[in-house]
Amino acid sequence: MKTAILLLLFIFTNLIALDITLVPYTAKDSYTNSSNKSSKINGFYTKFKEPNYSIELDYETMSLESNSTTTKQTDYTLAYAYFIKNNYKIKTLYHQISNNAKTNSKVKAYLLGVEFYKKSIFNLGINLSYSSYDETSLAKEVYQTSPYFKISFGDYKSTMGKYVLKLDANGLYPKAQDTNTTSIKNNSSFGISLQQFKGDFSNMFSYYKGEEIFAVKDNGFSINNLNQLYTSGFSLSTRYRIYDDMGIKLLYKSDKFTAIDTNMDGERKRYLLLFDYTIK
Protein backbone atom coordinates (compact mmCIF):
# COMPACT_ATOMS: atom_id res chain seq x y z
CA MET A 1 0.00 0.00 0.00
CA LYS A 2 2.80 2.38 0.93
CA THR A 3 4.61 1.61 -2.34
CA ALA A 4 1.44 2.32 -4.36
CA ILE A 5 0.93 5.66 -2.60
CA LEU A 6 4.53 6.68 -3.25
CA LEU A 7 4.18 5.69 -6.92
CA LEU A 8 1.00 7.76 -7.29
CA LEU A 9 2.70 10.74 -5.62
CA PHE A 10 5.67 10.37 -8.00
CA ILE A 11 3.40 10.28 -11.08
CA PHE A 12 1.31 13.23 -9.83
CA THR A 13 4.42 15.30 -9.06
CA ASN A 14 5.80 14.69 -12.53
CA LEU A 15 2.48 15.53 -14.21
CA ILE A 16 2.42 18.87 -12.38
CA ALA A 17 5.82 19.68 -13.89
CA LEU A 18 4.56 18.95 -17.40
CA ASP A 19 3.02 21.29 -19.94
CA ILE A 20 -0.26 19.68 -21.01
CA THR A 21 -1.86 20.72 -24.31
CA LEU A 22 -5.50 19.82 -25.02
CA VAL A 23 -6.83 20.06 -28.59
CA PRO A 24 -10.41 19.08 -29.51
CA TYR A 25 -11.06 19.32 -33.26
CA THR A 26 -13.71 18.69 -35.88
CA ALA A 27 -13.58 18.51 -39.67
CA LYS A 28 -15.76 17.88 -42.70
CA ASP A 29 -14.67 16.41 -46.05
CA SER A 30 -16.45 16.68 -49.39
CA TYR A 31 -15.58 14.65 -52.51
CA THR A 32 -16.05 15.23 -56.24
CA ASN A 33 -15.88 12.56 -58.98
CA SER A 34 -15.66 9.81 -56.38
CA SER A 35 -17.79 7.01 -54.95
CA ASN A 36 -17.20 8.74 -51.60
CA LYS A 37 -19.50 11.68 -50.95
CA SER A 38 -18.59 13.24 -47.62
CA SER A 39 -17.16 12.50 -44.20
CA LYS A 40 -17.34 13.94 -40.69
CA ILE A 41 -14.36 13.80 -38.35
CA ASN A 42 -14.13 14.43 -34.61
CA GLY A 43 -11.01 14.02 -32.53
CA PHE A 44 -9.13 14.86 -29.38
CA TYR A 45 -5.36 15.39 -29.24
CA THR A 46 -3.30 15.64 -26.04
CA LYS A 47 0.38 16.41 -25.55
CA PHE A 48 2.41 16.07 -22.35
CA LYS A 49 5.72 17.93 -22.60
CA GLU A 50 8.71 18.05 -20.27
CA PRO A 51 12.20 19.43 -21.14
CA ASN A 52 13.57 15.94 -21.90
CA TYR A 53 10.58 14.21 -23.49
CA SER A 54 7.06 14.52 -24.82
CA ILE A 55 4.11 12.13 -25.12
CA GLU A 56 1.35 12.67 -27.68
CA LEU A 57 -2.04 10.95 -27.83
CA ASP A 58 -4.70 11.30 -30.50
CA TYR A 59 -8.14 9.71 -30.74
CA GLU A 60 -10.24 10.28 -33.86
CA THR A 61 -13.55 9.03 -35.25
CA MET A 62 -14.75 9.39 -38.82
CA SER A 63 -18.05 8.69 -40.56
CA LEU A 64 -17.56 8.34 -44.34
CA GLU A 65 -20.60 8.42 -46.61
CA SER A 66 -20.33 6.73 -50.01
CA ASN A 67 -22.84 5.89 -52.74
CA SER A 68 -24.05 2.73 -50.99
CA THR A 69 -22.58 2.51 -47.49
CA THR A 70 -21.52 4.41 -44.40
CA THR A 71 -18.08 3.58 -43.03
CA LYS A 72 -17.33 4.12 -39.35
CA GLN A 73 -13.62 4.48 -38.62
CA THR A 74 -11.59 4.92 -35.45
CA ASP A 75 -7.94 6.06 -35.21
CA TYR A 76 -5.61 5.72 -32.22
CA THR A 77 -2.15 7.32 -32.22
CA LEU A 78 0.57 7.27 -29.57
CA ALA A 79 3.90 9.12 -30.01
CA TYR A 80 6.93 9.51 -27.76
CA ALA A 81 9.86 11.88 -28.33
CA TYR A 82 13.11 12.16 -26.39
CA PHE A 83 15.29 15.28 -26.53
CA ILE A 84 19.06 15.11 -26.16
CA LYS A 85 21.13 18.19 -25.19
CA ASN A 86 18.58 20.56 -26.80
CA ASN A 87 19.94 19.60 -30.24
CA TYR A 88 18.64 16.11 -31.02
CA LYS A 89 15.22 14.51 -31.00
CA ILE A 90 14.34 10.83 -31.35
CA LYS A 91 10.68 10.05 -32.01
CA THR A 92 8.67 6.83 -32.09
CA LEU A 93 5.00 6.51 -33.06
CA TYR A 94 2.28 3.88 -33.33
CA HIS A 95 -0.94 4.49 -35.29
CA GLN A 96 -3.85 2.07 -35.62
CA ILE A 97 -6.95 2.31 -37.81
CA SER A 98 -10.01 0.08 -37.59
CA ASN A 99 -13.32 0.39 -39.45
CA ASN A 100 -16.30 -1.59 -40.72
CA ALA A 101 -15.41 -1.25 -44.42
CA LYS A 102 -14.99 -4.20 -46.76
CA THR A 103 -11.48 -3.02 -47.72
CA ASN A 104 -8.59 -1.58 -45.71
CA SER A 105 -10.43 -2.25 -42.44
CA LYS A 106 -7.30 -2.86 -40.34
CA VAL A 107 -4.22 -0.66 -40.66
CA LYS A 108 -1.17 -0.40 -38.40
CA ALA A 109 1.71 2.04 -38.82
CA TYR A 110 5.03 2.44 -37.01
CA LEU A 111 7.34 5.44 -37.29
CA LEU A 112 10.88 6.18 -36.15
CA GLY A 113 12.24 9.70 -36.55
CA VAL A 114 15.58 11.36 -35.89
CA GLU A 115 16.10 15.12 -35.93
CA PHE A 116 18.99 17.53 -35.43
CA TYR A 117 18.04 21.13 -34.67
CA LYS A 118 19.17 24.52 -33.50
CA LYS A 119 16.25 26.13 -31.69
CA SER A 120 14.62 28.94 -33.69
CA ILE A 121 17.21 28.49 -36.48
CA PHE A 122 16.83 25.19 -38.35
CA ASN A 123 15.65 21.55 -38.16
CA LEU A 124 17.02 18.66 -40.20
CA GLY A 125 15.48 15.22 -39.87
CA ILE A 126 14.11 12.05 -41.38
CA ASN A 127 11.12 9.83 -40.56
CA LEU A 128 11.12 6.12 -41.42
CA SER A 129 7.74 4.45 -41.35
CA TYR A 130 6.21 1.04 -41.97
CA SER A 131 2.50 0.38 -42.42
CA SER A 132 0.64 -2.92 -42.83
CA TYR A 133 -2.83 -3.59 -44.26
CA ASP A 134 -5.31 -6.45 -44.16
CA GLU A 135 -5.83 -8.91 -46.99
CA THR A 136 -8.59 -6.79 -48.59
CA SER A 137 -6.18 -3.97 -49.40
CA LEU A 138 -4.21 -3.52 -52.60
CA ALA A 139 -1.08 -3.22 -50.49
CA LYS A 140 0.21 -5.66 -47.92
CA GLU A 141 3.02 -3.47 -46.63
CA VAL A 142 4.36 0.00 -47.33
CA TYR A 143 7.81 1.28 -46.44
CA GLN A 144 8.32 5.04 -46.44
CA THR A 145 11.22 7.48 -46.05
CA SER A 146 10.44 11.14 -45.33
CA PRO A 147 13.41 13.55 -45.03
CA TYR A 148 12.74 17.22 -44.24
CA PHE A 149 14.48 20.52 -43.60
CA LYS A 150 13.13 23.61 -41.84
CA ILE A 151 14.68 27.04 -41.47
CA SER A 152 13.44 29.97 -39.37
CA PHE A 153 14.04 33.66 -39.97
CA GLY A 154 12.60 37.01 -38.92
CA ASP A 155 10.99 38.19 -35.68
CA TYR A 156 7.28 37.85 -34.85
CA LYS A 157 7.39 41.33 -33.28
CA SER A 158 8.68 42.94 -36.50
CA THR A 159 6.60 44.38 -39.33
CA MET A 160 7.02 41.26 -41.49
CA GLY A 161 6.87 38.75 -38.64
CA LYS A 162 8.72 35.46 -38.16
CA TYR A 163 8.76 32.80 -40.89
CA VAL A 164 9.39 29.05 -40.95
CA LEU A 165 10.12 27.49 -44.35
CA LYS A 166 9.93 23.70 -44.66
CA LEU A 167 10.98 21.43 -47.53
CA ASP A 168 10.14 17.74 -47.41
CA ALA A 169 10.00 14.63 -49.57
CA ASN A 170 8.34 11.23 -49.37
CA GLY A 171 9.51 7.99 -50.93
CA LEU A 172 6.97 5.15 -50.78
CA TYR A 173 7.71 1.50 -51.50
CA PRO A 174 4.46 -0.52 -51.42
CA LYS A 175 4.32 -4.30 -51.61
CA ALA A 176 1.20 -5.80 -53.18
CA GLN A 177 -0.76 -8.62 -51.60
CA ASP A 178 0.54 -12.07 -52.53
CA THR A 179 -2.77 -12.99 -54.15
CA ASN A 180 -3.26 -9.63 -55.86
CA THR A 181 -2.10 -9.32 -59.46
CA THR A 182 -2.39 -5.54 -59.44
CA SER A 183 1.04 -3.95 -59.61
CA ILE A 184 1.64 -1.03 -57.26
CA LYS A 185 4.72 0.91 -58.27
CA ASN A 186 7.02 2.87 -56.01
CA ASN A 187 6.04 6.54 -55.83
CA SER A 188 7.27 9.80 -54.37
CA SER A 189 6.25 13.37 -53.64
CA PHE A 190 7.82 16.70 -52.73
CA GLY A 191 6.37 19.41 -50.53
CA ILE A 192 6.93 22.97 -49.38
CA SER A 193 5.30 25.00 -46.63
CA LEU A 194 5.68 28.53 -45.30
CA GLN A 195 4.43 29.56 -41.88
CA GLN A 196 4.22 33.14 -40.63
CA PHE A 197 4.03 34.26 -36.98
CA LYS A 198 2.85 37.85 -36.60
CA GLY A 199 1.42 39.18 -33.35
CA ASP A 200 -1.52 37.02 -32.28
CA PHE A 201 -1.79 35.28 -35.66
CA SER A 202 0.07 32.41 -37.28
CA ASN A 203 -0.69 31.66 -40.93
CA MET A 204 0.48 28.76 -43.05
CA PHE A 205 0.47 27.69 -46.70
CA SER A 206 1.59 24.23 -47.82
CA TYR A 207 1.75 22.46 -51.19
CA TYR A 208 2.86 19.05 -52.43
CA LYS A 209 3.21 17.42 -55.85
CA GLY A 210 3.94 13.86 -56.93
CA GLU A 211 2.29 10.49 -56.33
CA GLU A 212 1.28 9.04 -52.96
CA ILE A 213 -0.68 5.88 -52.18
CA PHE A 214 -1.13 4.55 -48.65
CA ALA A 215 1.12 7.35 -47.36
CA VAL A 216 1.85 8.07 -43.70
CA LYS A 217 1.39 11.84 -43.31
CA ASP A 218 1.60 14.60 -40.70
CA ASN A 219 4.48 12.96 -38.82
CA GLY A 220 2.46 9.77 -38.54
CA PHE A 221 -0.82 11.22 -37.27
CA SER A 222 -2.73 10.59 -40.50
CA ILE A 223 -2.71 7.74 -43.03
CA ASN A 224 -4.18 7.73 -46.54
CA ASN A 225 -5.72 4.27 -46.25
CA LEU A 226 -8.19 4.51 -49.17
CA ASN A 227 -7.52 3.04 -52.63
CA GLN A 228 -6.64 6.47 -54.01
CA LEU A 229 -3.44 7.71 -55.68
CA TYR A 230 -2.94 11.30 -54.49
CA THR A 231 -1.20 13.53 -57.03
CA SER A 232 -1.17 17.05 -55.55
CA GLY A 233 -2.62 19.17 -52.80
CA PHE A 234 -2.45 22.41 -50.87
CA SER A 235 -3.67 23.80 -47.58
CA LEU A 236 -4.27 27.21 -46.00
CA SER A 237 -4.63 27.75 -42.26
CA THR A 238 -4.72 30.53 -39.71
CA ARG A 239 -4.52 30.42 -35.92
CA TYR A 240 -5.55 33.25 -33.60
CA ARG A 241 -4.06 33.41 -30.10
CA ILE A 242 -6.94 34.23 -27.76
CA TYR A 243 -4.68 34.22 -24.70
CA ASP A 244 -1.03 33.24 -24.19
CA ASP A 245 -1.97 29.57 -23.75
CA MET A 246 -5.15 29.39 -25.80
CA GLY A 247 -5.95 29.60 -29.50
CA ILE A 248 -8.36 28.73 -32.29
CA LYS A 249 -7.42 27.50 -35.76
CA LEU A 250 -9.17 27.23 -39.13
CA LEU A 251 -7.83 25.13 -42.00
CA TYR A 252 -8.83 24.50 -45.61
CA LYS A 253 -7.21 21.65 -47.54
CA SER A 254 -7.60 20.32 -51.08
CA ASP A 255 -6.20 16.99 -52.34
CA LYS A 256 -6.44 15.71 -55.91
CA PHE A 257 -6.35 11.99 -56.54
CA THR A 258 -7.03 9.18 -58.99
CA ALA A 259 -9.32 6.38 -57.75
CA ILE A 260 -7.63 3.03 -58.34
CA ASP A 261 -10.86 1.08 -58.93
CA THR A 262 -12.44 3.50 -61.45
CA ASN A 263 -9.35 5.35 -62.73
CA MET A 264 -11.32 8.60 -62.30
CA ASP A 265 -9.71 11.84 -61.17
CA GLY A 266 -11.32 13.30 -58.07
CA GLU A 267 -10.82 15.86 -55.35
CA ARG A 268 -11.20 15.90 -51.58
CA LYS A 269 -11.81 19.20 -49.78
CA ARG A 270 -11.42 19.45 -46.02
CA TYR A 271 -12.63 22.15 -43.62
CA LEU A 272 -11.19 21.89 -40.10
CA LEU A 273 -11.74 23.76 -36.85
CA LEU A 274 -9.69 23.21 -33.70
CA PHE A 275 -9.26 24.76 -30.27
CA ASP A 276 -6.03 24.43 -28.26
CA TYR A 277 -5.31 25.11 -24.62
CA THR A 278 -2.01 24.54 -22.76
CA ILE A 279 -1.86 24.03 -18.99
CA LYS A 280 1.50 25.06 -17.50
Predicted pLDDT of residue 8:
47
Among residues 230, 234, 233, the alpha carbon closest in space to that of 265 is found at 230
Q: How far is CA 39 from the centre of its chain?
A: 17
pLDDT, one tens digit for every residue, the chain (280 residues): 445 554 444 444 455 558 899 999 999 999 988 888 899 999 999 999 988 999 999 999 999 888 878 889 999 999 999 999 889 999 999 999 988 876 667 899 999 999 999 988 999 999 999 999 887 678 888 999 999 999 999 887 777 889 999 999 999 998 887 665 556 789 999 999 999 999 899 999 999 999 998 999 999 999 988 788 999 999 999 999 999 899 999 999 999 999 887 788 999 999 999 999 998 8
CB environment 161-175: b (16+ within 10 A), e (fewer): bbbbebebbbebebe
In whole angstroms, give the CA distance from residue 82 to residue 277: 23
Specify the CATH number for 19-279; select among 1.10.300.10, 2.40.160.40, 3.30.70.1140, 2.40.50.140: 2.40.160.40
In whole angstroms, give the CA distance from residue 271 to residue 29: 7
pTM of the entire structure? 0.89
Among residues 270, 265, 238, the alpha carbon closest in space to that of 254 is found at 270
Q: How far is CA 126 from the centre of its chain?
A: 15
Predicted pLDDT of residue 14:
55
Pairing of strands 222-223, 216-217: antiparallel
